[in-house]
A and B are shown apart, each in its own frame.
Chain A
Amino acid sequence: MLARRVVVCLDVQGARVVKGEQFVHLRDVGDPVELATRYEREGADEIVFLDISATADDRATLLDVARRTAERLFIPLTLGGGIRSADDVSLALRAGADKVSINSAAVSRPAVLEESAARFGSQCVVASIDAKRDGDSWRVYTRGGRTRTELDAVEWARECVAHGAGEILLTSIDRDGTRTGYDLELTRAVVAAVDVPVVASGGAGSASDVREVLDAGRADAALVAGILHDQATTVRAIKQLLASSGLPVRAVA
């Protein structure tokens, strides 16, 4: 039986993991290779590096970081942020990523999903969708939540899959950073609309929020970031809660 996953996300700028509010007041929280391997030991099922670099130099550095990480990390690694073409996907995979997440570029040119899936397989193409509530539906935003589009989030998720995405990384802009819990309604709507795995993101404040989005929210995986970096909880505690609630998880010795 397929286990539900706890995915740990690290914001990486150049060679460092950083943390900040809305991309300001960035604070250095450590070395990506060290943090990624530490989370593997704690029981994380996957690691995501979100590239928040502003410069080309930083991006080149990140590929080197991915290479060094892949040599020591023995769970899957996803790279996201700034991926615009199948050639970018190729660079990320060759550097050591197992999957690549594509966000704004897919909205401006959905064919980038098709081109990437054709070359590398759907299993490594993740469509990242930032959604914000708009009346009784959800709107897709791009460029890190700054630009509103005309796309309906549920409809767009369906379209991404039709274009070749093998997984959806779904972030609620309304909940992101609030620690008030994931958007269960949004998650359920997207899970029902597509037949690929859905990773829910945005709003985790506690281990029980993670349980809620995997249980009532029906997500296949939950992305966790801030609460781990702040040591509000641990991957181990989250997985223990999931297991004791009867959800299938990977046990870690």
Chain B
Amino acid sequence: MFDYGAGNLHSLIKTLEHDGARVEIETDPSHAARTDALVLPGVGAFGHAASRMASGLADMRSALRDGLPCLGICLGMQLLFDGSDEGAGAGLGIFPGRVRRLEGGRVPQIGWNTIENGDDPLLDAAPLATAYYANSYVCRPDDDSCVHAWSTHGIARFPALVREGRTVGVQFHPEKSSAPGVELVRAFLREAAQ
């Protein structure tokens, strides 16, 4: 797990450890990329996180392109895109597109939202009908074909889950989405182990 600063990682660590995975907390992005599976947690602001990632951006990007399984959560998902309106700095660019402010309902979006049009092996394994969100920004890919689930806030529809090969990004917090969310993280670990 790449730790880029503030926030609560306890629940996520416990979720990952459920299945006997060993979790290493890494603050160095190049070291973080040398692992069996990478988790980008979802706390903080884009600019701050991007600056902490900058020194190892190229290493992390090439590891992901070489097939390192990765789960990006909330801000961690947003870091998989090119850049963000929230703050300066480069993302990993695994998904071409940009992170933009969520417009359409009360922002930040805080609470449980419905997962729509889910079409991904992780959602097949985890019966996640609603998931917990806490975000003001959402990912806007150049091409929606990477989007494998959606949610709607007010009038705005936005990507809930994106995938490119073994790299998965989720805008919600599975570690805060009760038992079905925990199940989704376990499904990611099982997939990564294959």
Contacts and interface: CB of A to CB of B under 8 A. Distances in A.
A54 interface: no
Contacts of B13: 71
Contact of A167 (B8, B108, B153, B154): B108
Nearest to B11: A70
Interface stretch (A26-34, A90-98, A106-114, A203-211): A90-98
Contacts of B110: 123, 166-167, 196-197, 220
A77 B44 CA distance: 17
B6 A120 contact: yes
B88 interface: no
Interface stretch (B32-40, B57-65, B118-126, B128-136): B128-136
A2 B181 contact: no
A2 B8 contact: no
A119 interface: yes
Contact of B106 (A196, A248, A250): A196
A158 interface: no
A72 interface: yes
Interface in B163-194: 173, 175-179, 181-182
A74 interface: yes
A85 B11 CA distance: 24
A248 B105 CA distance: 15
Interface residues of A, number: 43
B111 A123 contact: no
The residue in A72, A76, A93 that gathers the most chain B C-beta atoms within 10 A of its C-beta is A76
Contacts of B106: 195-197, 220
Interface string A215-253: 000001100000000000000000000000000101111
B113 A2 contact: yes
B45 interface: yes
B112 A93 contact: no
Contacts of A98: 8, 134, 176
Chain B interface size, as a band, is 35 or more
Nearest to A122: B108
B107 A195 contact: yes
B59 to A, nearest CB: 27
Interface in B1-36: 6-8, 10-11, 13-15
A2 B112 contact: yes
B15 A74 contact: yes
Contacts of A196: 106-108, 110
B152 interface: yes
A88 to B, nearest CB: 13
A193 interface: no
Contact of B130 (A3, A77, A197, A220): A3
Interface in A79-107: 90, 93-99
B175 to A, nearest CB: 6
A73 interface: yes
Contact of B8 (A3, A45, A70): A70
B79 interface: no
B55 interface: no
A124 B154 CA distance: 21
29 contacts: A1-B113, A1-B114, A2-B153, A5-B111, A70-B14, A71-B10, A71-B13, A72-B14, A74-B181, A74-B182, A75-B132, A75-B176, A76-B176, A90-B6, A93-B43, A94-B7, A98-B176, A118-B45, A120-B6, A121-B44, A124-B43, A124-B134, A166-B108, A166-B136, A220-B110, A220-B111, A250-B112, A250-B130, A251-B130
